[in-house]
Amino acid sequence: MSVSDPKSGMFSKEYLQPDNQLQDHIHAYIVLQADFPDPVNRDYMLLPQVHPFLLLNLSETHTIQNKQTGEYLLRHLLIPPHHQSLSFRISPRMKILAIQGVAGSGSHLFEDILQLDHIQQQLSQCKDTQSMRTLLNTLLSACLKCEKRSAGSIREAVRVILHTGGNVLIRQLEAATFQTKRTLERGFLTQTGLHLKMFCRIIRFRRAIACIEKEKQLCWAKLAQDCGYCDQTHFINEFHFFAGCLPGAYIGTPSSFEQAIG
C-alpha cells in the first residue's frame, strides 16, 4: 500500500561536511531516515536537477523503489543529472546515506566508488555518522588521486550558467572559458550526461521553481520574463515538460524527500 501525498511523512537527517579537497566535487553527505507517522509506504517525486546523487542503503531490507523501472535500492543507487521527473516509493523502514555531488562535477567519482563491493559492509560497521564521514572521505580522496583531469573542464562554464540562471549565450561561455562550442558541448555530455542546452534549461526551470516557492501572489507573465523565457507560452510548455503539470497545478514546493537530500 502507498500514498502519493508528497507532503506526507517526515525524514530525520544529518548533514556531514566532506573534506576541503572534495568540496569541488561533493556538496554533502546526508544520513537520511524515514520517520513516518504510520507503517505505510509513500510516493515521492524528484524534479529534474543537475546534481548527481549516490544513495547507499543502510537498511537490512529493500526500502526504496524506482517507480519508473520497478528497480529496488539493493546496495546503492546512482541518480545522475536528469531532465525528467523521477518517482520513488519509500518504506517507513528506510535508512540511507546520500552523497550529493556538485553541479557539473560528473558522476565518475560515484562510479569509481561503486566498484568497491565492500563499501556497504564497511558503512554498516561504522559506529557513528562521523566514522561514516571519515570512511567516505578516505575512499573518495583515493578516487580523486586516480582521476585523469580533462583539459575540457566545465567548472567555469557551470559557474557562469548558475550565475545567469541558465540565461547565457554560447558565445558568452566561449569567452568566459576560452573553449570552443564543440569542446563545451562534449564536456557537458561527458561530465554530466546532459547536453549543454538541456543543462541550461534545467537551471532556468529550477529558478522558476524557486520563484514559485517564495512568491505568494504570482503573475505568470512576469515570472516568465524574470526567468528568461521568451514569453508565457514558452514558460508553460517548458514547465510542463519538466514537471509533468501546468504551473498552476504545481503544489508550490518540492517533495519532502527531495528537500531532504537536496
Q: For the chain, first and last CA: distance in Å?
A: 26
Half-sphere exposure of 40 (CA within 13 A, CB side): 13
pLDDT of amino acid 213: 86
Task: State the sign of the Cα–Cα–Cα–Cα dihedral 184, 188, 190, 191.
Answer: positive
Residue 31: pLDDT over 50: yes
Q: Which domains does the chain have, with CATH numbers?
A: 2-148 (2.60.120.10), 155-257 (1.10.10.60)
pLDDT of amino acid 24: 86
pLDDT of amino acid 194: 94
Task: Concatenate the DSSP letters of all residues of 68-136 into one string.
Answer: TT--B-SSEEEE--BSS-EEEEE-TT-EEEEEEEPTTS-SHHHHHHTT-TTHHHHHHT-SSHHHHHHHH
Residue 37: pLDDT over 70: yes
Residue 185: pLDDT over 80: yes
Q: Are 103 and 162 in contact (CB under 8 A)?
A: yes
Q: What is the mean pLDDT of residues 5-17?
A: 72
pLDDT in tens, 189-213: 988 989 999 999 999 999 999 999 8
- Copy the grid coordinates of residue 127: 559506529
pLDDT of amino acid 151: 41
37 CB burial (10 A radius; 0-12, 13-18, 19+): exposed
Q: Are 44 and 255 in contact (CB under 8 A)?
A: yes
Ramachandran sector of residue 49 (left: φ over 0; alpha: ψ -120 to 50; beta: rest): beta
Distances from the Cα of 177 to the Cαs of 103, 151, 173, 187, 196, in angstroms? 17, 11, 6, 12, 14
pLDDT of amino acid 3: 39
What is the bridge-based pairing of β-strands 64-66 and 86-90? antiparallel
As a whole number of angstroms, the distance between CA 199 and CA 242 comes to: 12
Residue 140: pLDDT over 90: no
As a whole number of angstroms, the distance between CA 189 and CA 173 comes to: 16
Neighbouring C-beta atoms of residue 198, cutoff 10 Å: 18
pLDDT in tens, 59-95: 888 889 999 888 888 888 888 899 999 999 999 999 9
Show the CA angle centred on residue 132, arms to residues 136 and 55, nearest 5°.
Answer: 70
Lowest mean pLDDT among 29-33, 71-75, 117-121, 124-128: 117-121
What is the bridge-based pairing of β-strands 76-79 and 95-101? unpaired
As a whole number of angstroms, the distance between CA 181 and CA 171 comes to: 8
